[in-house]
Homo-oligomer: A and B are copies of this chain.
Amino acid sequence: MSNQDIQLTVDAVVFGYESVPRISVLLIKRKYEPFKDSWAIPGGFVLNEESLEDAVYRELKEETGVEIGYLEQLYTFGKPGRDPRQRIVSVAYFGLVRPDTYKISAATDAQEVQWFDIHDLPELAFDHAEILETAIKRLRAKITYEPIGFELLEERFLFSDLENLYKTLLGREIDRRNFRKKIMSLGMLNELDEKVSKGAGRPANLFQFDKKRYFQLKEEGIVFEI
């Protein structure tokens, strides 16, 4: 097939979390046609000699300045006509950043890059609304069977933060005490000695996800599940 004329791009749906609480996604305003001045998921063409993941990291750095802590391939979108000008197939990824990175990147270039609440999104270029929807569904599903929620929190976090993250993402109430029991029973969290007091109420303990222990347990067939 020497006359194949298909361009390959990557796009990255990057999620962040604030303890407001809200889940947000990183979007850029397009500088060029097509869809000039529309909001879009960051991404771009894959270079001839770089891997798909490298393309994602590079584009994210170039376009948004963000460095992500977690990245996985989401889905490949290739329907003819998804770009009005040429045949473009895009390998979409989804990534997660911690609040600290989040803040930095939010300040970088307010004109072109911006975090949006996933429940209050602008109109998006191309089929990016579909890509984003796919990503949200995946994130929502995945936090129930993979410990990726921790990638959205600080290294050391409060149980109430974790709980709010799950409540917000799953969109339903969770019994605080049962949730805690369930998570703790997995044996993947370390309770730190440090206590934090914010606002009224008894000070809360800090926790940390034990990635090493998680992989040990995974080896033994014990999986994360909520």
Task: Name A residues whose Cβ lies closer than 8 Å to a Cβ of B.
Answer: 1, 3-8, 44-52, 73, 75-76, 78-80, 87, 89, 91
In the complex the two chains form, is B46's CB within 8 Å of A4's CB? yes
Give every chain B residue within 8 A of A44 (Cβ-Cβ): 1
Give bound CA distance, A48 to B89, whole Å. Answer: 11
Please state if B1 and A47 are interface contacts (CB–CB under 8 Å).
Answer: yes
Report the Cα distance A8→B46, complex, angstroms.
Answer: 12
| Residues of chain B contacted by A75 (CB below 8 angstroms) | 73
Q: How many copies are assembled?
A: 2
Given contacts A8-B8, A78-B91, 9 further A-B contacts (CB under 8 A): A1-B7, A4-B45, A4-B46, A6-B8, A8-B78, A49-B80, A51-B80, A52-B78, A89-B91
**Does the CB pair A89–B52 fall under 8 Å?**
yes
CB proximity of A144 to chain B, nearest CB, Å? 11
Q: Whole-angstrom distance from the CB of A50 to the nearest CB of chain B?
A: 7
Q: Mind listing 24 A-B residue pairs with CB under 8 Å?
A: A1-B7, A1-B45, A1-B46, A1-B47, A3-B48, A4-B7, A4-B45, A4-B46, A4-B47, A4-B48, A5-B48, A6-B8, A46-B89, A48-B87, A49-B87, A50-B80, A51-B79, A52-B78, A52-B79, A73-B75, A73-B76, A76-B91, A78-B91, A89-B91
Chain B residues closer than 8 Å to A45, beta-carbon distance: 1, 4
Within the complex, the shortest CB–CB distance from A162 to chain B, in Å, comes to 24
B residues in contact with A3, CB < 8 Å: 48
Assembly CA distance A5 to B49 (angstroms) = 9
| Contact present for A78 and B49 (CB under 8 Å) | no
Specify which chain B residues have a CB less than 8 angstroms from the CB of A91 in the assembled complex.
76, 78, 89
List of 8 A-B pairs having minimum Cβ-Cβ separation, nearest first:
A1-B45, A52-B78, A76-B76, A76-B91, A6-B8, A51-B79, A49-B80, A5-B48
Q: How far is the CA of A4 from the CA of B87 in the complex (A)?
A: 13
Cα–Cα, bound, A46→B51 (Å): 20
Residues of B within 8 A of A79 (CB): 51-52
Residues of chain B within 8 A of A8, CB atoms compared: 4, 6, 8, 78, 89
